[in-house]
Amino acid sequence: EVQLLESGGGLVQPGGSLRLSCAASEFTFSNYAMSWVRQAPGKGLEWVSSISYSGGSTYYADSVKGRFTISRDNSKNTLYLQVNSLRAEDTAVYFCAKGGRVLGSGSYYGANWGQGTLVTVSS
């Protein structure tokens, strides 16, 4: 069974930074595109970013472009999201999601999801 475990969330001041991680297991991580999706407290889902299976292509929502960076280390089966210049509106649970197609340049949907890590931006 696919396992995705996010970590790295926490309380950070406005303007601060964090690096979120998503450790993957029970599937060939290097074969799948991956994505980050967030959910503000009591709100709906918002796509944040995706990365190709190789890491060579990355995609971002306009709301985070220039502030967030997605990356992956296929040797460590780990996905990352570097979040900088954080704002109050970035407060959310951040989920990682596995793409549904082998060797995808990107994802069309999230086939499997982790439990999420909470990022709280507050002074």
Partner 1 sequence: QSALTQPRSVSGSPGQSVTISCTGTSSDVGGYDYVSWYQQHPGKAPKLMIFDVSKRPSGVPDRFSGSKSGNTASLTVSGLQAEDEADYYCCSYAGTYTWVFGGGTTLTVL
C-alpha torsion sign, points 107, 119, 40, 7: positive
Q: How far is the CB of 115 from partner 1 (least distance, A)?
A: 5
Beta strand 117-121 pairing with 45-51: unpaired
Sole binder of partner 1 in the list 116, 117, 119, 121 (CB under 8 A): 116
Considering the rule CB under 8 A, would residue 117 count as an interface residue with partner 1? Answer: no
Considering the rule CB under 8 A, would residue 106 count as an interface residue with partner 1? Answer: yes
Token couple for 104: 């995808």
Considering the rule CB under 8 A, would residue 30 count as an interface residue with partner 1? Answer: no
Distances, alpha carbon 71 to alpha carbons 14, 36, 43, in Å = 23, 11, 26
Could you identify the residue written with the tokens 């995705």? 4
Considering the rule CB under 8 A, would residue 84 count as an interface residue with partner 1? Answer: no
- Applying CB under 8 A, which residues contact partner 1? 33, 35, 37, 44-47, 50, 57, 59, 61-62, 95, 97, 100, 105-116
